[in-house]
Amino acid sequence: MKILIITHGELATYLLKTAEMIIGTQDENLIEIINFYPQDSMETLKEKLINQIKKFIGEEILILTDLKGGTPFNVAFLLLKEYKFYLITGVNLPMLLEILLLKEEEKTGEEVVKKIADIGRDGICIVYS
């Protein structure tokens, strides 16, 4: 399964860098990143995304975005009509670490995508005294 992270600003870049701080440097080709900047148009982002999806053709694709209703999510959502991929929004560090820790052969099918999303959700909890 190919992984692509698209976020506002440079969150995607630094999310990956931070994950590497925890589990060590990753193979460069394992995860692709698209940063979305204020000056980028929706069309530019769409183009970048399509190019990246085309590179992955024939493989399962998981796209992670940061914000439900944000432009990276919206652009990916609209492409679900033409291309086949899984889309998770609300990407966080626990989710990303899980992806990086899974073996390549384990990263396949809907179940594993659900598990990745669950890990992200479970990473959020309240602790207080």
Partner 1 sequence: MAIVFWRVDGRLIHGQIAIAWSRLLGIDEIIVVNDEVSRDETQTMLLEFATPPGVKLKICSVADAITLINNNEFEGNRTMVVFKYIKDAVRIVEGGINIKSLNIGGAYFSEGKTQYNKALALDENDIEDLRYLSRKGVELFYQVAPMNEKEPLSKYVSL
> What are the residue numbers of the active site?
8
In whole angstroms, the minimum distance from the beta carbon of 46 to partner 1 comes to 12
SS3 127: coil
Selected from 32, 34, 49, 73, the binder of partner 1 by CB under 8 A is: 73
The pattern of x and - marking residues 2 through 21 that bind partner 1 according to CB under 8 A reads ------x-------------
124 touches partner 1 (CB under 8 A) = no
Q: Any idea which residue has 């069309």 for tokens?
A: 43
User: In sequence order, what are the beta bridge partners of 55?
Assistant: none
Nearer to partner 1, 8 or 107 (CB): 8
In whole angstroms, the minimum distance from the beta carbon of 77 to partner 1 comes to 5
- DSSP annotation string for 45-104: HHHHHHHHHHHTTTS-EEEEESSTTSHHHHHHHHHTTTS--EEEES--HHHHHHHHHS-G
Selected from 67, 93, 102, 119, the binder of partner 1 by CB under 8 A is: 67
- Other C-beta atoms within 10 Å of 2: how many? 20
For partner 1, the binding residues (CB under 8 A) are 8, 38-39, 41-43, 67-71, 73-74, 77-78, 81
